[in-house]
Amino acid sequence: MTRRLPRSFYARPATEVAPDLLGHVLVRVLPDGTRLAARLVEVEAYEPDDPGSHAFRGMTARNEVMFGPPGHLYVYFTYGVHFCMNAVTRRAGEGSAVLLRAGEPLEGLDEMRACRGRDRPTELCSGPGRFTQALAIARPENGVDLVEGDVAWVERGRRSGTTAVGNRVGVHDTTRSWRFWVEGDPFVSPGRPGPPTPKRRVRASPPRP
DNA sequence: CGTTGGATTGGCT
DNA sequence: GCCAATCCAACGC
């Protein structure tokens, strides 16, 4: 039996692949052979007809990997400081991916600490920018094959806990609740302004005294 | 061609 | 709670 998730796993809508990824293990092998691993606990889906997606306005040099075949890593640079990584989903030409937002460190914690400059396990892979930094994933890793390559892949892991659903972080769209995480898992990212669970609509403020 | 702001984070007021 | 860091795609003129 093989532990690695096959191409067919990724060749589905991101909204299906995303929750299914929770519990599986992202493995990253550094150039020197060091193996790092983290259990996925928080992801977000980005679909073709989705204004919040980089792919929404068509293919560009930046997002071309998103339009390639499924099972590849789409890495992009943001805020002039950080990298974020995604697993490409659906079929070539469609433009869809799952953002890997957080993981529980399993192997290579000291290497991750060196990359991150932090010690606490919850500060290693809990957040999309942190996650890529901990695994030493940046521009050179954009486009790597997660199914046949030897740089990074996803192995089958055990599903545990309940899957929670909410709005995506930093995406101003309350109609697509495509963020998925393991309920109560301590390695889920803090999500700055507070985890974007479905927002309540607030009524006009009451009369002042 | 200039401006704006983002699938973020960490440090400081 | 606020903001700087620091690149670049998207959009307006």
The pLDDT tens digits for A26-62 are: 999 999 999 999 999 999 999 999 999 999 999 999 9
Interval A99-142: pLDDT, tens: 999 999 999 999 999 999 999 999 999 999 999 999 999 999 99
Interval A174-194: pLDDT, tens: 899 999 999 999 999 986 544
Cβ-Cβ contacts under 8 Å for A32 (sequence gap 6 or more)? none
| Strand C reaches within 7 A of the A1 CB | no
Q: How far is the CA of A41 from the C1' of C3 (A)?
A: 29
Q: Which amino acid is at A161?
A: G
> In the numeric block, which tokens belong to residue A104?
């529980």
Residue nearest to nucleotide C8 (CA to C1'): A80
Q: What is the mean pLDDT of residues A154-178?
A: 93
CA A44 to CA A76: how far, in whole Å?
15
- What values do phi and psi take at A134, rounded to 5? -65, -35
CA A87 to CA A73: how far, in whole Å?
5
pLDDT of residue A198 exceeding 60: no
Instruction: Name the residue ranges covered by the structural domains of chain A.
Output: 7-158
- The DSSP letter of residue A3 is -
Q: How far is the CA of A18 from the C1' of C5 (A)?
A: 31
Residues in contact with strand B, defined as Cβ under 7 Å from any of its atoms: A 44, 46, 52-55, 66, 74, 76, 78-82, 84, 86, 97, 99, 116, 118, 123, 127-131, 168-171, 189, 192
Nucleotides of C under 7 A from a protein CB: 5-11
Cβ-Cβ contacts under 8 Å for A131 (sequence gap 6 or more)? A38, A85, A100, A101, A102, A103, A125, A137
CATH of segment(s) A7-158? 3.10.300.10
| Strand C reaches within 7 A of the A130 CB | no
pLDDT-above-90 percentage for chain A? 86
Q: What is the mean pLDDT of residues A62-91?
A: 97
| Strand C reaches within 7 A of the A3 CB | no
Closest nucleotide to A171: CA versus each C1':
B7
